[in-house]
Each structure stands twice: as structure tokens, then as C-alpha cells.
Amino acid sequence: MPRGDKSSYTEKQKRKATHIEEGYEGRGVSKSEAERRAWATVNKESGGGKHSGSGRGNAENHSASRAGGHKSGASQSAQQRSAAAKKGWETRRKNANG
């Protein structure tokens, strides 16, 4: 089986890769880079292509998908993070005093 052959992947994995790829392309990533990232994500989550047989199924890890776009507070500006921290501090101070 040559490198890049997708025959060992399930239909669900292929659909997932297509969906992820479309999302990247919608954000302006090139077709080839989007495809590479999509299959890398599928491989990371499901451990690569699945093969038939008893006991071969393993749970998928979706932590990478959930973290996307939210790493290191990237969804907020520095000013928003600072304001949220100050507001939280004020609330904790008020609640502690009564």
C-alpha cells in the first residue's frame, strides 16, 4: 500500500477529513495544506486507519478539536482578558467581605 493511500480508513473517517478540510479552506488555507491538516487531525483523533476485526476499536480523543481556536486565550484580546480578570477579582473581594 503506497503512502497516502486512504483505503484503510472508514467512511466516517473520510467524511470527517472532508468536513475538516472544508473548514480550513473556508478560512483561507490552501487546498493541499487543508487536506494535510485534515488527515493529520483524523489520525491524531482516531489513531490512523481502522482495520476490520474484533477488538480493534479504540476510543477517539477529541481534545485537539475542542482546543482549536481557543489556545492561550486567543479568542480574547489582551484588554478583554485584563478586564475579565479585574472584574473577577472585584467579585471575589466583594463576596469575601460579606
- Residue-level pLDDT at 51: 66
Whole-model pTM? 0.59
Residue recorded with cell 476490520: 52
How would DSSP label each residue in 3-31? TT--TTS-HHHHHHHHHHHHHHHHTT--H
Query: Do residues 35 and 6 lie in contact, with contact meaning Cβ atoms separated by under 8 Å?
Result: no
What are the distances in angstroms from CA 78 to CA 23, 74, 81, 85? 27, 9, 5, 11
- Residue-level pLDDT at 18: 95
Indicate whether 36 pLDDT > 90.
yes
The answer to whether the Cα torsion of 63, 64, 68, 73 is positive or negative is positive
